[in-house]
Structure 1
């Protein structure tokens, strides 16, 4: 029997992760089994267990692979903090809206991952993703304030929450509820641009004066 090469092993592992995304998205993490994933990948259960000790370990690897693809692109030196904030928002909107690993894994973590003790490692991955995203956005907001692109009295925490709500609303409307059938990206960009203008000027995002 021919000996498996490292490349063969990596291809098998990738196929298993691809299958895990499809199966877990369809059935949920609690109901998907290693056998289901093996069947979907076209490999034996032994092959799956040869790469992953259990379903949670497999799901963690699946998430790690997707989030590696979702890394923030390198910032262009010519872009200001506010321009970078806008460009990164559009980048992630497109990344999450296009069918692929990132979209599937985020749907699994936010929709198909029950809140129970078995799934704690996955819920922690989701929480770390949220925290990191919020921290990155907050850093850019504060930089935009320091450079005079945003008003000094803006409520940074509220402004940060506003941007995430804007993102979630556009994503849900266009790609979950599927209310727009054509030219979705043009609509998404128009909505995000309009929301971003409000973000820069809304009095509601300013700190309340005390006296």
Structure 2
């Protein structure tokens, strides 16, 4: 539900969803019409459909057992991509894997002063490498949620709150965000760009 949608928007929908379908088995038995009805107003209706398809697959083909690793989640469940798989595996099952969404891209690019094209597959792969290298091995779910929340509330696209940032002492772009090269198709790495391990 949180894919491309803010937490504040999702909360009521999530609560109604969990009240109606508290288990994968219950969701698997729902009709697509019921799913779409409860999803109404949230947008991106294919997300609800994919959730239901995944629930049906877990119940009918995986003996009711949810895949527990990012790799298996992505391989076995329809509509589960790299980000969703990493979020589920780290938050629900404690797998030490990173996540990369728009908020995390912004935080990592600013932290390391990267002005490269963040839509480039090569750059995205490097950001995933960085996220995987940085993730706290003992609390990966908490770490990933904190990184996403940091990007959503402090390291925001415009007028970031650098003075309130808990990682400001490590940030190469601190208080220079307005002068950094913009990420985008013509973005260039800024001076001193360093990747994970480099």
TM-score (structure 1 length as normaliser):
0.27
Structure with greater helix percent = 1
Pair member with larger Rg:
1
